[in-house]
């Protein structure tokens, strides 16, 4: 068989095509009783992508990550991981997933050493050198019961467990919440190495925007039960501007550009005197520029968060 033609990531005429998604969510609907948390959400995660998932408290980040892993029942829509429906994943595909839940699920009476040797037995691929290196670097006592490790050490152990079998898809729900700044930096470095070494797909939710700014991750904004926007952060910061002016002037200034949000927002300045503020995105050829009667401001990740995750 011709390997080139059979590869899903190579197009027939020799032009590289997009690689097959590691995760593909379509029309996902998730309701808790009468409350809809996900509303027809579409999302794709590609190999080698590192995606920071952002959203306000209660936006549904945990629900989304659990649904992505098949841990949460959905009302409608589909989730496919590595091309298979998440409800019918075979063991080999399951072994390609790493997950760090928001609430620690470690067996607390075990020691770190016992826990890791227990999990090792489930995975055909297990990088003992990486595990040993991280345990030493992250100062985790191997023979102490997990219940007596600090919150941050337990979180690090949970991350080590999720990285140990070299997953192709790594899902982390607020993995850095209990880590100090040094721990967070180390964790981010580890993620980047993982992606460079193995093209792992990484998605993690966080409220710590500075961590995302440190590395040029993709950011995805969850709002109104959908992914409102996903793009590489450096590209977004380069191409997006906040414009302020009258609706007529803004319509002129934004012609041909993507308007991401508009209206009264409180994140930068105040909209007064019939003036509005629009968040506008250009592209590599054209960035929004000032015209008469329109103020143009560069944006920070915090501005984007405030504008794109309004309820």
Ligand X SMILES: Nc1ncnc2c1ncn2[C@@H]1O[C@H](COP(=O)(O)OP(=O)(O)OP(=O)(O)O)[C@@H](O)[C@H]1O
* Interacting residues with ligand X (CB under 6 A): 32, 37, 55, 57-63
- Of 174 and 190, nearer to ligand X (C-beta) is 174
Packing angle between helix 151-164 and helix 112-120, nearest 10 degrees?
A: 20
Q: How far is the CB of 33 from ligand X (least distance, A)?
A: 7
Q: Are 72 and 78 in contact (CB under 8 A)?
A: no
Q: How far is the CB of 56 from ligand X (least distance, A)?
A: 7
Length of the chain: 311
Token pair 């192709």 in the structure block, residue: 168
Q: How far is the CB of 36 from ligand X (least distance, A)?
A: 10
Longest Cα pair distance anywhere in the chain, in angstroms? 69
Q: How far is the CB of 128 from ligand X (least distance, A)?
A: 33
SS3 103: coil
Token pair 């699920």 in the structure block, residue: 105
CA dihedral 112, 114, 120, 121 (to 10 degrees): -160
Q: How far is the CB of 60 from ligand X (least distance, A)?
A: 4
- Of 59 and 236, nearer to ligand X (C-beta) is 59
Q: How far is the CB of 215 from ligand X (least distance, A)?
A: 21
Q: Nearest Cα to 243, choosing from 221, 260, 220?
A: 260
- Of 244 and 308, nearer to ligand X (C-beta) is 308
β-sheet bridge partners, residue 98: 170
- Of 166 and 307, nearer to ligand X (C-beta) is 307
- Of 72 and 262, nearer to ligand X (C-beta) is 72
Give the phi and the psi of residue 135 in degrees, each rounded to 5: -60, -40
- How does DSSP classify residue 248? H
SS3 286: coil
- Of 55 and 245, nearer to ligand X (C-beta) is 55
């Amino acid at each position: 068989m011709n390997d080139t033609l059979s590869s899903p990531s190579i197009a027939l005429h020799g032009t590289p095509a997009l690689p097959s998604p590691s995760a593909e969510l379509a029309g996902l609907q998730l309701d808790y009783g009468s409350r809809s948390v996900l509303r027809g959400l579409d999302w794709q995660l590609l190999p080698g992508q590192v995606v920071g998932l952002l959203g306000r408290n209660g936006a549904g980040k945990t629900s989304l990550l659990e649904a992505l892993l098949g841990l949460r029942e959905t009302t409608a829509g589909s989730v496919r991981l590595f091309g298979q429906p998440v409800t019918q994943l075979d063991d080999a595909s399951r072994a390609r997933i790493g997950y760090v839940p928001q609430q620690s699920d470690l067996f607390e009476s075990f020691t770190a050493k016992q826990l890791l040797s227990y999990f090792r037995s489930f995975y055909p691929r297990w990088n003992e050198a990486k595990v040993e290196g991280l345990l030493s670097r992250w100062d985790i006592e191997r023979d102490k019961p997990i219940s007596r490790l600090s919150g941050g050490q337990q979180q690090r152990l949970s991350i080590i467990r999720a990285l140990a079998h070299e997953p192709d898809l790594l899902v982390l729900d607020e993995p850095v919440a209990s880590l100090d700044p040094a721990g967070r930096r180390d964790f981010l470095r580890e993620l980047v190495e993982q992606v460079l070494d193995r093209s792992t797909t990484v998605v993690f939710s966080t409220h710590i925007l500075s961590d995302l700014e440190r590395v040029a991750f993709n950011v995805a904004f969850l709002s109104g039960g959908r992914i409102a926007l996903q793009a590489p952060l450096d590209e977004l910061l380069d191409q997006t501007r906040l414009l302020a002016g009258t609706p007529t002037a803004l319509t002129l200034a934004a012609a041909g550009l993507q308007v991401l949000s508009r209206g009264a927002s409180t994140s930068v300045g105040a909209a007064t005197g019939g003036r509005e503020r629009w968040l506008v995105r250009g592209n590599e050829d054209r960035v929004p520029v000032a015209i008469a009667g329109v103020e143009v401001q560069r944006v920070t990740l915090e501005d984007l968060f405030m504008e794109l995750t309004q309820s």
